[in-house]
């Protein structure tokens, strides 16, 4: 049976990973008050406070956790990040080096050292870049070291290395928003320089000089070969949530209206509902880059929850559309809308947690 404190710590870790760090702080406050010598509780509180923006509180909690015997490398990492946010860059570098010294083979320690050195106004970019590269060697499948390396190179004016690092991060994680934004900014800057150097010829043969992997549409990065387009999965989840919500609410309203309205007016209501669903689809899918919908079938096959939600939503849409046609033709019942609404609700029940998992699947654990 799970210990009550352990259950609270696990719940706090889930809240922190899902972006609700303040809730985690509120949950952990009574625990550390009742058990002031519980090292892991102080460690979780330090991570939650750091994510909540309370750098001073995070530093105090990490110091307390370290004194109580929590993992030294982890405590030094949290302390280094907190000190960096407080502007105490020298102390942050010392704490980050202590973390590396405690666990030289841990990639997160190397990334922390690179981050705090890069954040210092007069930081050593060479040492920071070296730490980021070592982190990439220790964890070749993690995008974060390459994002940090790209930031360091960008600050030093090395645009070639920055672009390479951001593209590498995106190949590892197509949803790495930080790398995508910075790469898009670099592409826009490159386009402006070309336009200035070659006035009157902003496109054409000069646009073909953009590096491979960069889209020519709005400066957005293109998807790596064989991978779904950047943001396509996120857009699909968002579309599923919106369509399921609209369809569930619309069918409920039509069922209620069917208690008094005639079949003709219900038919107009069904047509209006289908028009709203079409408008939502067009608006949401418009955010996918050109050609980005081609691998959707492959993407859905790789995500069972996405496939289930899509199937439920498709069934609800088919029933609703068939009912609308039947009502326009003279049928006067709303019975088919009940299973359609239930399917829409089930699709929403699947899509909401699925979208949250996608949003936070790369979130860093509080003690990891």
Residue 286 is assigned to a structural domain of this protein: yes
> Under DSSP, is residue 221 helix (H, G, I), strand (E, B) or coil?
strand
Neighbours of 74 (CB within 10 A): 25
Distance CA 115, CA 105 (A): 17
Instruction: Kindly give, in sequence order, each residue whose CB lies less than 8 Å from that of residue 339, ignoring residues fewer than 6 positions away.
Output: 319
What's 179's domain CATH number? Answer: 1.25.40
Instruction: Kindly give, in sequence order, each residue whose CB lies less than 8 Å from that of residue 104, ignoring residues fewer than 6 positions away.
Output: none
C-alpha angle 156-213-232 in degrees, rounded to nearest 5? 110
Q: Verify that 278 and 319 share a domain, yes or no.
A: yes
Q: Verify that 269 and 330 share a domain, yes or no.
A: yes
Distance CA 58, CA 68 (A): 15
Domain assignment of residue 285, given as a range: 232-360
What six digits make up the tokens of 57? 């509180």
Residue 46 is assigned to a structural domain of this protein: no
Residue 129 is assigned to a structural domain of this protein: no
Going from the C-alpha of 6 to that of each of 10, 12, 15, 31, the distances in angstroms are 6, 10, 14, 10
Cβ–Cβ < 8 Å for 292, 223:
yes
Distance CA 75, CA 112 (A): 12
Q: Verify that 176 and 237 share a domain, yes or no.
A: no
pLDDT at 212: 37
Residue 180 is assigned to a structural domain of this protein: yes
Neighbours of 341 (CB within 10 A): 23
Give me the residues of the chain with pLDDT under 70, please. Answer: 1-2, 123, 192-234, 261-264, 285-302, 354-368
Q: Verify that 264 and 349 share a domain, yes or no.
A: yes
Q: Verify that 288 and 346 share a domain, yes or no.
A: yes
Residue 184 is assigned to a structural domain of this protein: yes
In 85-196, at which residue ranges do the beta strands (DSSP E only) sit?
none
Instruction: Kindly give, in sequence order, each residue whose CB lies less than 8 Å from that of residue 341, ignoring residues fewer than 6 positions away.
Output: 247, 248, 251, 252, 255, 316
> Under DSSP, is residue 262 helix (H, G, I), strand (E, B) or coil?
coil
Give pTM, 2 decimals. Answer: 0.50
Residue 346 is assigned to a structural domain of this protein: yes
How many domains does one find in the chain? 2
Q: Verify that 156 and 258 share a domain, yes or no.
A: no
Residue 28 is assigned to a structural domain of this protein: no
pLDDT at 233: 64
Q: Verify that 236 and 356 share a domain, yes or no.
A: yes
Q: Verify that 154 and 185 share a domain, yes or no.
A: yes
> Under DSSP, is residue 214 helix (H, G, I), strand (E, B) or coil?
strand
Q: Verify that 237 and 189 share a domain, yes or no.
A: no
Q: Verify that 242 and 179 share a domain, yes or no.
A: no
| Each residue's pLDDT tens digit, 247-305 | 888 888 888 877 776 666 777 888 888 888 888 888 776 655 444 455 555 556 667 77
Distance CA 257, CA 261 (A): 6
Residue 16 is assigned to a structural domain of this protein: no
Q: Verify that 242 and 323 share a domain, yes or no.
A: yes
Q: Verify that 188 and 239 share a domain, yes or no.
A: no
Distance CA 190, CA 154 (A): 13
């Amino acid at each position: 049976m799970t210990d009550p404190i352990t259950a609270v710590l696990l719940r706090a870790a889930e809240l922190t990973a899902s972006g609700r760090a303040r809730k985690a702080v509120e949950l952990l406050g009574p625990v550390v008050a009742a058990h002031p010598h519980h090292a892991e509780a102080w460690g979780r509180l330090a991570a939650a406070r750091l994510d909540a923006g309370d750098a001073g509180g995070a530093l105090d909690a990490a110091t307390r956790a370290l004194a109580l015997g929590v993992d030294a490398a982890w405590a030094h990492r949290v302390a280094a990040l907190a000190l960096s946010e407080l502007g105490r860059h020298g102390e942050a570098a010392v704490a980050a080096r202590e973390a590396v010294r405690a666990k030289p083979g841990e990639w997160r320690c190397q990334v922390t050292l690179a981050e705090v050195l890069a954040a210092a106004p007069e930081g050593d970019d060479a040492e920071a870049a070296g730490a980021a590269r070592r982190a990439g060697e220790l964890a070749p499948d993690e995008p974060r070291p390459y994002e940090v390396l790209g930031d360091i190179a960008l600050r030093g004016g090395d645009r070639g290395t920055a672009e390479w690092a951001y593209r590498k991060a995106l190949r590892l994680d197509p949803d790495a928003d930080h790398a995508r934004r910075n790469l898009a900014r670099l592409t826009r800057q490159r386009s402006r320089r070309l336009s200035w150097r070659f006035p009157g010829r902003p496109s054409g043969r000069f646009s073909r000089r953009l590096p491979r992997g960069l889209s020519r549409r709005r400066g957005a990065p293109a998807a790596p070969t064989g991978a779904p387009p950047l943001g396509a999965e996120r857009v699909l989840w968002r579309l599923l949530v919106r369509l399921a919500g609209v369809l569930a609410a619309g069918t409920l309203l039509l069922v209620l209206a069917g208690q008094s309205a005639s079949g003709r007016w219900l038919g107009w209501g069904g047509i209006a509902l289908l028009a709203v669903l079409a408008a939502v689809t067009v608006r949401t899918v418009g955010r996918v880059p050109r050609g980005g919908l081609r691998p959707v079938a492959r993407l859905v096959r790789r995500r069972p929850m996405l496939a289930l939600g899509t199937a439920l939503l498709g069934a609800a849409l088919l029933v609703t559309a068939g009912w609308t046609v039947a009502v326009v033709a003279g049928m006067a019942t709303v019975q088919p809308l009940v299973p359609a609404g239930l399917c829409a609700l089930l699709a929403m029940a699947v899509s909401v947690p699925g979208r949250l998992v996608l949003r936070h699947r790369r979130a860093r654990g509080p003690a990891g």
